[in-house]
Each structure stands twice: as structure tokens, then as C-alpha cells.
């Protein structure tokens, strides 16, 4: 029975995978999509959470960290279905640019 579901960034998954032949294959696959370290992903998650934007949920934060959008168009693609206003987009992208 699942008691709690917590979205994880690819960096966090990479860190949790462990060691072994199959795990190395999983890590290699993850590295194709994410260059972010666990430390950077955690710091970015904290900063995005501190923005305290109502529309910015935990699963959206994880997608943003994994996709690292560089402009508004990329951000909209990373989090479809969420309509951020220009001020929110600017705040989010400012955090992402730091990393």
C-alpha cells in the first residue's frame, strides 16, 4: 500500500539507484537527460518552493528542475496546463538561471 507519494528529480533518483550492473545501466540512462547534481537540485527545489507561488506545486517544481527551461516557452512546455503570469515566469526563470 502506498502511503505517500513524493515527486523526485532525476538527480535524486540517480542518487537513490545504488550500485550494480543493472543500476549502472539506469544511471547511464538518467545521465542522458539530466546533468544536475543532487545538491543543485535540492537547492533549486528549496528556492522554487520559497517563491511561494500558489500555482507552483511540488510535481511542477520537479519537472522544472529536470527540464531546466531557459525561457518562457520552455517553462510552459515543462509545466503544461499551468498558466503562470509574466511575474511568476520571471521569478521561476531567475532561480533556474542560477543553476
| Within a domain: 47 | yes
Contact predicate 82/67, CB 8 Å: no
Confidence of residue 71 (pLDDT cuts 50, 70, 90): very high
Average model confidence (pLDDT) across the chain: 93
- Our measurement of the distance from residue 37's CA atom to the centroid of its chain's CA atoms, rounded to an integer in Å, reads 11
Cell output for 10? 532525476
For 17-66, the pLDDT digits (tens) are 988 888 999 999 999 998 889 999 999 999 999 999 999 999 999 999 99
Is residue 28 a part of any domain in this protein? Answer: yes
Residue 89 falls inside a structural domain = yes
- What backbone phi and psi angles, to 5 degrees, belong to 32? -65, -25
Asked if residue 33 is part of any domain, the answer here is yes
Q: What is the pTM of this model?
A: 0.87
Q: Residue 35 sits in which domain range?
A: 10-97
Cell of residue 56, nine digits: 507552483
The number of folded domains in the chain is: 1
1 within some domain:
no
Q: Is residue 2 part of a domain?
A: no
3 is a domain residue? no
Amino acid at each position: 500500500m502506498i502511503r505517500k507519494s513524493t515527486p523526485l528529480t532525476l538527480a535524486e533518483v540517480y542518487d537513490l539507484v545504488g550500485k550494480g550492473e543493472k543500476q549502472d545501466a539506469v544511471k547511464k540512462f538518467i545521465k542522458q537527460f539530466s546533468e544536475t547534481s543532487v545538491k543543485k537540485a535540492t537547492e533549486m527545489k528549496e528556492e522554487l518552493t520559497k517563491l511561494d507561488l500558489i500555482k507552483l506545486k511540488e510535481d511542477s517544481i520537479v519537472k522544472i528542475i529536470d527540464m531546466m527551461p531557459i525561457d518562457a516557452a520552455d517553462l510552459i512546455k515543462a509545466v503544461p496546463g499551468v498558466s503562470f503570469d509574466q511575474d511568476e515566469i520571471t521569478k521561476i526563470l531567475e532561480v533556474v538561471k542560477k543553476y
